[in-house]
Amino acid sequence: MGCILTFVEQRGGVPRKASLEALSQARRVAQGAGWSVCAVLVGYGVKDKAADLGAWGAQTVYVADEERLALFSAEGYAAAIVAAAEVCPPSAIFMAATITGKDLSGRVAARLGTGCLADVVAVSLAGEKIQAVRPVYSGKALATVEGWSSKPVVVTLRPNVFAAEAGGGVAQVVDLPPVEAKIRSKVIEVKAAEGGELDVAEADIIVSGGRGLKAAENFALIRSLAQPLGAAVGASRAVVDAGWIAHKHQVGQTGKVVSPSLYIACGISGAIQHLAGMSSSKVIVAINKDPEAPIFKVADYGVIGDLFQVIPPMVEEIKRLKQE
């Protein structure tokens, strides 16, 4: 019988949403094949939360709980995942395609002498093989990819794509032996973003601004719309390159690829590189003066008009509805 081992990322002992999405999808894939689902939890002081993952479908949770794993290191975390894989042993290893997951997946795969299906938006079992769909050329095409190794393939799942659904029972918790790996490169400090600003890669709603804002200070208008929606602030490459806002806000080919449930593009014409980064959003809204702007071709809803005149009444209306 096969098994899918899912690496569950945690922050302060709390599993990240993207990891619960990956674990839920592991359960769905395993169910169809009669496979089992295991999880691996890595960190320090995380063990008492391990059994909770049973509620998300994990039958066994392997735990590496050590002080030297308190902060991230690719070598230490990869060693823990590989140790879990030796005990399990899995038919596939799932993890969320977060910054951490993308970093680890390459190291884990190479350590196991196998490949990785990276940043997938669909994954299933095709016969004995894991088959997945992943956006390539920044979303301009979709590749159906398969694991071909006799060893377990690593799969990273794009956040915000797979539903996180509780379901399952009580997990058996298994302690992993202390990680013996040498840890050379490692995190020594984590700095939280100023003002607890929401990251575009994690946000469910994104409001993005582009050149149509005309000046850096007009990002205040974007923030005024983002605030009542609980949205993250995104940006086009043009305004990041102009220095109006930090690069971490950039959505698109050389920025972040996002798939929120709602993406509102304000004053963004929709260069092919920008579309590549957001076209998999569930609902796309465009606000732009130019009716010919390419962004309207991918928009589900749009307003042809001046964003300086459209956004303030939108904010007012949203606030009014929120109060109802």
Partner 1 sequence: MKCCVLVAYVPDTASIIKIGSAGNRIDEGGIKWIISPYDEFALEEAIRIKEARGGEVTVITYAPERGSTGLRECLARGADHAVHVVGGEATFGDSYAIARVLAAAVQKTGPFDLILCGIKGVGSDASLVGAMVAELLDLPHVSGVVKLELGDGSLTAQRDVEGGTEVFTSPLPCLLATHKGLNEPRYPSLKGIMAAKKVPIQTFKPADLGVDEAELAGAGATTRWVKLELPPAKASGTILKGEEDPAAAARELVRLLREEAKAI
Touching partner 1, residues 122-161 (CB under 8 A): 131, 134-149, 151, 153
User: Nearest distance from residue 189's CB to partner 1, in Å?
Assistant: 4
List the structure tokens of 36: 């089992």
Distance set, CA 233 to CA 27, 208, 224, 270, 306 (Å): 33, 6, 10, 17, 19
**38 or 132: CB nearest partner 1:** 132
- What is the smallest separation between the CB atom of 32 and partner 1, expressed in angstroms? 20
218 binds partner 1 (CB under 8 A): no
- b/e string for 140-162 if b means 16 or more Cβ within 10 A? eeeeebebeeebbbbbbbbbbbb
Nearer to partner 1, 55 or 122 (CB): 122
Could you give the string, one character per residue 281-300, with x where binding to partner 1 holds by CB under 8 A and - elsewhere?
Answer: -xxxxxx---x----xxxxx
Type of residue numbered 193 = A
Q: State the nearest-atom distance from the C-beta of 317 to partner 1, in Å.
A: 4
| Cβ 301 vs Cβ 288: under 8 Å | no
Q: How far is the CB of 170 from partner 1 (least distance, A)?
A: 30
Site residue total, partner 1 (CB under 8 A): 100
Angle between helices 99-112 and 74-87 (to 10 degrees): 60
Q: Cα(300)–Cα(286) distance, rounded to whole angstroms?
A: 8
Q: Which stretch binds partner 1 (CB under 8 A): 25-33, 47-55, 178-186, 210-218?
A: 178-186
Closest CB to partner 1 among 31 and 254? 254
- Distance between CA atoms of residues 4 and 250, nearest Å: 34
191-210 residues in contact with partner 1 (CB under 8 A) are 191-193, 196-199, 201-202, 205
**255 interacts with partner 1 by CB under 8 A:** yes
Q: For residues 7-66, which are near partner 1 according to CB under 8 A?
A: none
- DSSP single-letter state for residue 182: -
Lay out the site mask for partner 1 across 71-100 (x = CB under 8 A, - = otherwise): -x-xx--x-------------------xxx
DSSP secondary structure letter of residue 251: B
When binding is defined by CB under 8 A, the residue of 45, 89, 167, 305 that contacts partner 1 is 305
- CA dist 80 and 181 (Å) reads 9
When the beta carbons of 104 and 222 are compared against partner 1, the nearer one is 104
Q: Is 299 exposed, middle or buried (0-12, 13-18, 19+ CB in 10 A)?
A: buried
CB of 262 to partner 1, least distance (A): 4
Quick check: 73 and 185 in contact, CB under 8 A? Answer: yes
Nearer to partner 1, 61 or 104 (CB): 104
Asked if 190 interacts with partner 1 (CB under 8 A), we say yes
- Is there a contact between 283 and 261 (Cβ–Cβ < 8 Å)? yes
